[in-house]
Chains A and B, each alone.
Chain A
Amino acid sequence: MAVAQTESPGLSRFVLPVAGLIGLGACVAGILVLYDPQGGPNLLASIYEALGNTSGAIDLRNGSGDQVIAKLLLAVIALVVGVGGIWLLFVCVGGLVGLLQPKWRDRILPWVFVGPALALLAVFLLYPAAGTILRSFQDDKGLFTLANFAVMIEPEFTQILRNNAIWLIVGTGASVVLGLIFAWLFDRVRRESLAKTLVFLPLAISLVGASVIWGFVYAWQPAGQPQIGLLNAVVVGLGGKPIPWLTTSPINILCEIVIMIWLQTGFAMVVFSAAIKGVSGEIIEAARLDGASERQIFVRVIVPMIRGSIVTVSTTIAIVTLKIFDIVYVTTGGRFNDDVVANRMFHEIFQFFEDGRGAALATLLFIAVLPVMYINLRNFRRQQVEG
């Protein structure tokens, strides 16, 4: 950490940016290779030619030969250019800015750090979001209208709102609480890594896989047929009648939420686990010496200390539940009084070709998320003050 002062202020301050500029030049060349649709094969072909392997080079240029190697080469370049280039960019520009007067340096430096992220976000998310909001106030001819927001006065909309509220409260609450408890419990057992891997597993499963898995849990057959669904097998085993879990409202919403909890708890647990590891062992040890029970330590010491993580995870999962789509789409399509905003939006746009109404629903989603953002902003400010 004290290295900074040992560098000779004159030379190295200039060597670094200059070397960086050379690196940047290499990156630009790399990006050109990446941008060219035939970049990978052509580059490898040139290499082959340089090595004297002319036939291999010709094959490559004709779209055959070692295409896999060409692809791997492309990926390596991407990694070097992508990660290395960004580092160079930050280091060089940061270094150059460092040469400026402190007054200017302090003004410009933060923008160097957040600049690339903001630029990408502007293109990939902000611009489409703005377009969507704009579209929600337009009819098919592009004229201003409020008609799209008629979705709000339709009877099913209240139901959709109710469903999203259930998702938000039950889904977020359960995932966060369970994630927290799991992280705490697992932290105290010897086979922590195994336990965490098992709870984490659902995250690794693709949506297709998850839909099959839960198909085997909720599957329903008429009474008298063999039940291949786990839950109904249990119900029938206990002498009950099989229940069509996914088509019976309102149980179906809870069944779908269970799938999300199963997926998201792993996420919450991983983040909380990392945070709990960050809580100083000395503090915990001190509390323990004071005679606090493990539960008290958890509630009084650990939870307050990782409050930031809890807010973060809650926010993330709350947003996931607000725009929950795929689980509903895959299990029931929202057809059994279990529709949610994002699923309806998807249907309006891609099935009913009602782009304006879909955009209106997306706009309502943005609005719904404002309170969540407000809480975050407040939390952010508090941290700035306390921090």
Chain B
Amino acid sequence: MTTPAQPIARPTVRVAPWRPAFIRSLPLRLSVFAICFLWTLPTLGLLVTSVRDPRNITTSGWWTALLHPFEANQWTLSNYQTVIASDGMGNAFINSLIVTIPSVAIPITIAAFAAYAFAWIPFRGRGILFTIVVALLVVPIQMSLIPILQIYAAGNLYGSFLGIWLAHTGFGLPLAIFLLYNFMSQLPRDLFESAAIDGATHLQTFIRLVLPLSIPALGAMAIFQFLWVWNDLLVALVFLGPGAEVRVLPTALYQLIGSRGGSWHLLTAGAFITMVVPVVVFLLLQRAFVRGILAGSVKS
């Protein structure tokens, strides 16, 4: 993807006079390449396995397929066909989107306001409250399920999308507040002082100043929350129930795979299909991470 123009010169293009830039940056390039290779290797195994003939998967290592890539009969897309064509997969995909999008947007909005208050509005009990919020990160989700379900059962929220949006919001808030607080608290104090001198209220400062400056952090947080919700199985099973109407993608995949056989061919294809959406989201949000946003806005 393309990145917007860089306002600041990249260090790599600085040429030391006595050595060509290419040689000078070679160690850097090599190490970056090595890191990427190592990190991608397991995933590559997943990709290769998902397009192999199922019979070969458990009898030879996936890398052997790469040794003679032109034997066409060892490659197949049938694993993907099986997964995509199975009952209810389309419905599950739509359900996943319906569950995920509000479950990302709502907690981040709420967390942004809270993080701003923790960072820039002094009030009594702020430190202790913030510590409690962060401490709640440690609550194991399994411990929350039963009490929340009791509330839902009484309040008629079981099996509804509203219920699962609220649940994901609640579970996602501590990390969102924590990360956004961290980012917002590091904005230069002068900004807020000059805004206050200008007579801006906290609400105006937050909306016109802090939010635009926090786009990288908001983007990062959106990605994490998106991934968590998109790949979640347990919360969906417990609060939405396993019924076909409300089944999400991970639930549908689990039910396809079967309890006994290896079915690694379906597992790998299924895992890859579920990966596509988060990766696209990541690529889109990458724009948020570009250097210069902060500097640029402050100057204007």
Number of chain B residues close to chain A: CB under 8 A = 140
Q: Closest Cβ of chain A: how far from B62's Cβ, in Å?
A: 6
Check if A113 is an interface residue, CB within 8 A of chain B.
yes
Asked whether B278 lies within 8 Å of A204 as measured between CB atoms, the reply is yes
How far does the alpha carbon of A55 sit from the alpha carbon of B103 in the complex, in Å?
34
Give the nearest-CB partner of B46 in chain A: A213
Check if B51 is an interface residue, CB within 8 A of chain A.
no
Give the nearest-CB partner of A34 in chain B: B162
Q: Closest Cβ of chain A: how far from B56's Cβ, in Å?
A: 10
Q: Closest Cβ of chain B: how far from A216's Cβ, in Å?
A: 5
Partner of A267 from B131, B224, B278 at Cβ < 8 Å = B224
Q: Closest Cβ of chain B: how far from A61's Cβ, in Å?
A: 16
Check if B72 is an interface residue, CB within 8 A of chain A.
no
How far does the alpha carbon of A162 sit from the alpha carbon of B203 in the complex, in Å?
48
How far does the alpha carbon of A5 sit from the alpha carbon of B208 in the complex, in Å?
14
Give the nearest-CB partner of B113 in chain A: A113
How far does the alpha carbon of A227 sit from the alpha carbon of B147 in the complex, in Å?
46
Task: Tell me which residues across on chain B come within 8 A of A187, comparing CB atoms.
Answer: 291
Tell me which of A45-53, A141-149, A375-383 binds B: A375-383
Q: Closest Cβ of chain B: how far from A257's Cβ, in Å?
A: 15
Check if B142 is an interface residue, CB within 8 A of chain A.
yes
Asked whether A206 lies within 8 Å of B46 as measured between CB atoms, the reply is no
Q: Closest Cβ of chain B: how far from A44's Cβ, in Å?
A: 14
How far does the alpha carbon of A185 sit from the alpha carbon of B114 in the complex, in Å?
33
Partner of B199 from A5, A74, A212 at Cβ < 8 Å = A5
Query: Given A4-B198, A121-B133: A199 and B113 within 8 A (CB)?
Result: no
Asked whether A216 lies within 8 Å of B147 as measured between CB atoms, the reply is no
How far does the alpha carbon of A384 sit from the alpha carbon of B184 in the complex, in Å?
12
Asked whether A91 lies within 8 Å of B94 as measured between CB atoms, the reply is no
Query: Given A75-B97, A200-B282: A230 and B127 within 8 A (CB)?
Result: no
Check if A8 is an interface residue, CB within 8 A of chain B.
no
How far does the alpha carbon of A349 sit from the alpha carbon of B146 in the complex, in Å?
12
Asked whether B1 lies within 8 Å of A193 as measured between CB atoms, the reply is yes
Q: Closest Cβ of chain A: how far from B212's Cβ, in Å?
A: 11
Partner of B46 from A72, A128, A196, A205 at Cβ < 8 Å = A205
Give the nearest-CB partner of A185 in chain B: B32
Task: Tell me which residues across on chain B come within 8 A of A107, comparing CB atoms.
Answer: 123
Tell me which of A21-29, A319-327, A331-339 binds B: A319-327
Number of chain A residues close to chain B: CB under 8 A = 130
Asked whether A217 lies within 8 Å of B182 as measured between CB atoms, the reply is no
Asked whether A1 lies within 8 Å of B209 as measured between CB atoms, the reply is yes
Query: Given A197-B279, A216-B45: A78 and B220 within 8 A (CB)?
Result: no
How far does the alpha carbon of A31 sit from the alpha carbon of B157 in the complex, in Å?
12
Task: Tell me which residues across on chain B come within 8 A of A111, comparing CB atoms.
Answer: 123
Q: How many A-B residue pairs have CB under 8 A?
A: 378
Proximity bits, B1-20, A CB within 8 Å = 1, else 0:
10100011111101000000
Asked whether A212 lies within 8 Å of B46 as measured between CB atoms, the reply is yes
Asked whether B12 lies within 8 Å of A79 as measured between CB atoms, the reply is no
How far does the alpha carbon of A128 sit from the alpha carbon of B152 in the complex, in Å?
13
Tell me which of A153-161, A165-173, A242-250, A269-277 binds B: A269-277
Asked whether A319 lies within 8 Å of B137 as measured between CB atoms, the reply is yes
Task: Tell me which residues across on chain A come within 8 A of B137, comparing CB atoms.
Answer: 315-316, 319, 369
Task: Tell me which residues across on chain A come within 8 A of B122, comparing CB atoms.
Answer: 110
Check if B268 is an interface residue, CB within 8 A of chain A.
yes
Task: Tell me which residues across on chain B come within 8 A of A87, comparing CB atoms.
Answer: 109
Asked whether A274 lies within 8 Å of B117 as measured between CB atoms, the reply is no
Check if B135 is an interface residue, CB within 8 A of chain A.
yes
Check if A342 is an interface residue, CB within 8 A of chain B.
yes
Query: Given A206-B274, A280-B295: A72 and B94 within 8 A (CB)?
Result: yes
Check if A373 is an interface residue, CB within 8 A of chain B.
yes
How far does the alpha carbon of A188 sit from the alpha carbon of B28 in the complex, in Å?
8
Partner of B170 from A91, A125, A197, A265 at Cβ < 8 Å = A125
Give the nearest-CB partner of B201 in chain A: A98
Q: Closest Cβ of chain A: how far from B173's Cβ, in Å?
A: 6
How far does the alpha carbon of A87 sit from the alpha carbon of B286 in the complex, in Å?
25
Q: List 20 A-B contacts (CB under 8 A).
A: A74-B161, A82-B105, A82-B109, A95-B203, A111-B123, A113-B114, A120-B173, A197-B279, A198-B36, A198-B39, A199-B36, A201-B43, A227-B61, A230-B63, A271-B179, A276-B291, A308-B182, A308-B186, A380-B127, A387-B185
Chain A residues in the interface with B (C-beta under 8 A):
1-5, 31, 34-35, 37, 68, 71-72, 74-75, 78-79, 82-83, 86-87, 90-91, 94-95, 98, 106-107, 109-111, 113-114, 116-118, 120-121, 123-129, 131-132, 182, 185-190, 192-209, 212-217, 226-230, 233, 262, 265, 267, 270-271, 273-278, 280-282, 284-285, 288, 294, 308-309, 311-312, 315-316, 319, 322-323, 325, 342, 345-346, 349-350, 359, 362, 365-366, 369-370, 373, 376-377, 380-381, 383-384, 387
Chain B residues in the interface with A (C-beta under 8 A):
1, 3, 7-12, 14, 25, 28-29, 31-32, 35-36, 39-43, 45-46, 49, 57-63, 91, 94-95, 97-98, 101-102, 105-106, 109-111, 113-114, 116-118, 121-123, 126-127, 129-140, 142-144, 146-148, 151, 156-157, 159-162, 165-167, 169-171, 173-175, 177-179, 182-183, 185-186, 189, 194-195, 198-204, 206, 208-209, 216-217, 219-220, 223-224, 227, 231, 233, 250, 253-254, 264, 267-268, 270-272, 274-275, 278-279, 282-283, 286, 288-295
